Amino acid sequence: MIKKRQNLTRLLILVSIFSLQMGCAARQSNNDTENSANNSNINKQNDQKSAIPDSSSESSSDQSAQEESAAAATPEQKTSTELSSETFYYLFSAEIAAQRGQIGLSAALYSKAAEVTRDPGVAKQATRIAYYARDDERAIAAASLWNELEPENLEARQVLAALLVRIGKTKDAAEHFEYVLNNGKHTERQGFMLITSLLSKEKDKQAALTVMNQLLSTRKNNPDALYAYSQLAFHVGDLDDAARVIKKVIQLQPQWTDAHILQSNIFVRQGYKAHAIEVLRQTVAAQSDNSKLRMFYARNLVDAKQFDEAAKQFALLTEDEKLQHEARYALGLLTLQMNKPKQAVEYFSQLLKDKKRVIESQYYLAQSYELQNELDKSISAYKKVRDNQYGFEAELRIAYILAKQGHIQEARRLLQNMSPDSLDKELRVYITEGEVLNSAKQYNEAFKLYTEALQQLTDNNRLLYARALTAEKLGKIDLAVKDLKSIVKREPKNAQALNALGYTLIDKTQRIEEGLKYVQRALKLEPDDPAIHDSMGWAYYRLGQYDEALKYLKRAFEKLKDAEIAAHLGEVLWVAGEHAAAKEVWNAALEQTPNDDLLLNVMQKFSE
């Protein structure tokens, strides 16, 4: 099937080349006939539009035109028939070279075809091929020809200007950009946006800024020009200059929302996140009816983890006719993040009633019920999710819920009857089934499942990781270490695997210092991960360094109120003589996870 598809592709290429070749011939024939009749200069022939023949009668007409053109041509000029044959050779060879990956050769042949035909379409294609081949000389020559043939073509001007920037001809580039700005086919603001987009892609950032400065030289108080300069400076990393110029833009046009947004982004990039938030707060207070800016402010509050204030801003936006649904959806996700599923139910239910964001809202409504432990409602809601991606996720969640309800076999049947349409989804199904089995403490079955899956998805790191954790529960420590080392060998910056390997060695063997080295590597990669801090603390505890252990374990527990971390922290506190503090930590964790085996075992061990 693959070979047939390749042959079809080549056939289509040949057809397109032949059409282009015939179009060039027809264009020249028609122009030559007209020029002969009008006794005008034959070099103006390419001003006419291409006509591609599509019937035998048109072909006959073109043949007559070609004969007339040949009779009218000067002795130095080739006939259209000779030209079309030469064109076909260059274009055909260029396409074959491109198919074979010989982009440089293709660029050379297309450039030759452009010179021979002086056809703007061929010149455009020659420019593109040379650009991709990184052949600046040919690209500029082809773009110059294209611009010569179609001087009012804005795309030709833009491409040529960008290429001139690349070779340092900033003055010439600026002249073409000036044409783009002054041609009257779009607003000046749109023109500057287009130019900024082009210049921001250039490697020579200083040359790009130089061009923009030249355009700015006659527009020193033009907010559109100043905004474009600031935006480009932001893109190329000249943040101080960007901040200076955007400040002037806001002084000139204080109501321009995009200017305020750009200023905030500049502050954030400079590392002044708190200042960015404060400036936005003041601006939103002064422009209370600016819903777009309020939405941007609310999202920045979420990024800053100021969830309560973000919720207030989104709530205000639900009164805005245009943004109410977007704001309500954001509120739903935010309340889920804040562990307020009851409120989330209200937001997602309203969106479903309004028939907005239906697929996502249905999925997150089900998740809200799940977080409230309304499991039957959750399953019912998940079953209504029909979208391919969200539907797949919903089925996985149903399996987890069934397992939580004790229906392990039903959960497994659901997973085994799924038809994943990608390797990644197939992997997710295997992982989920293994987790279902682990949740029921069917560790042998989970281990068997992961081993069989690894026969299908050989050396898959996620499967190896899952099997390693299961192997550790079965006491297969050597295999767990082997699987984790295999992952780390292939992915030396996999912090999760490094931590798991280190913790296994620390907790299950006497190779504590070796394990500590792996955990330290993980900590360098993920310095804020509470699980890694827990492993560090446990290592120092096993080494008898209680003060150092408490430092890491307390930091871990501050970040994540997890039962395992609580068990570790409480044990170290108890051994260090702080019995009351240990009990306080254990009891607090027990309220959240009353059935956690590790926590219960530790509490029983030290209460005897």
Contacts of 233 (CB under 8 A, 6+ apart): 209, 239, 241, 242, 245
CB contact at 8 A, 320 and 327: yes
Write down the number of H helices and E strands in the chain: 33, 0
Residues of 322-352 as b/e, b for ≥16 C-beta within 10 angstroms? ebbbbbbbbbbbbbbeeebbebbbbbbebbb
User: For residue range 161-171, what is the model confidence (pLDDT) as tens digits?
Assistant: 888 888 888 88
| Confidence at 85, pLDDT banded by 50, 70, 90 | confident
CB contact at 8 A, 271 and 236: no
| Confidence at 202, pLDDT banded by 50, 70, 90 | confident
CB contact at 8 A, 396 and 364: no
User: What stretches of 560-604 adopt beta strand conformation (E)?
Assistant: none
pLDDT at 608: 61
| Confidence at 403, pLDDT banded by 50, 70, 90 | very high
pLDDT at 184: 63
**Geometric angle at alpha carbon 565, from 562 and 569, rounded to 5°:** 135
Q: Is the pLDDT of residue 50 over 90?
A: no
Whether the full predicted model's pTM is greater than 0.75, yes or no, is no
pLDDT at 381: 97
Mean pLDDT value of segment 359-382: 97
Residue type at 281 in one-letter notation: R
Q: DSSP states of 239-260 as a string?
A: HHHHHHHHHHHHHH-TT-HHHH
Contacts of 199 (CB under 8 A, 6+ apart): 162, 165, 208, 211, 212, 232
CB contact at 8 A, 247 and 263: yes
For 8, the 3-state DSSP assignment is: helix
CB contact at 8 A, 253 and 259: yes
CA 168 – CA 603 distance, rounded (Å): 73
User: For residue range 432-478, what is the model confidence (pLDDT) as tens digits?
Assistant: 999 999 999 999 999 999 999 999 999 999 999 999 999 999 999 99
CB contact at 8 A, 480 and 497: no
CB contact at 8 A, 181 and 213: no
- CATH homologous superfamily of 492-557 equals Tetratricopeptide repeat domain (1.25.40.10)
CA 246 – CA 230 distance, rounded (Å): 6
Mean pLDDT value of segment 360-368: 97
What is the length of the chain? 608
pLDDT at 54: 35
For 4, the 3-state DSSP assignment is: helix
| Confidence at 18, pLDDT banded by 50, 70, 90 | very low
List, by residue range, all CATH 1.25.40.10 domains of the chain: 492-557
Write the burial class of residue 56 (CB in 10 Å: 0-12 exposed, 13-18 middle, 19+ buried). Answer: exposed
CA 252 – CA 233 distance, rounded (Å): 19
Mean pLDDT value of segment 240-253: 95
Mean pLDDT value of segment 311-330: 96
CA 542 – CA 536 distance, rounded (Å): 10
| Confidence at 41, pLDDT banded by 50, 70, 90 | very low
Which of the 8 DSSP states describes residue 78? P
Range with the lowest mean pLDDT among 189-193, 251-255, 515-519?
189-193
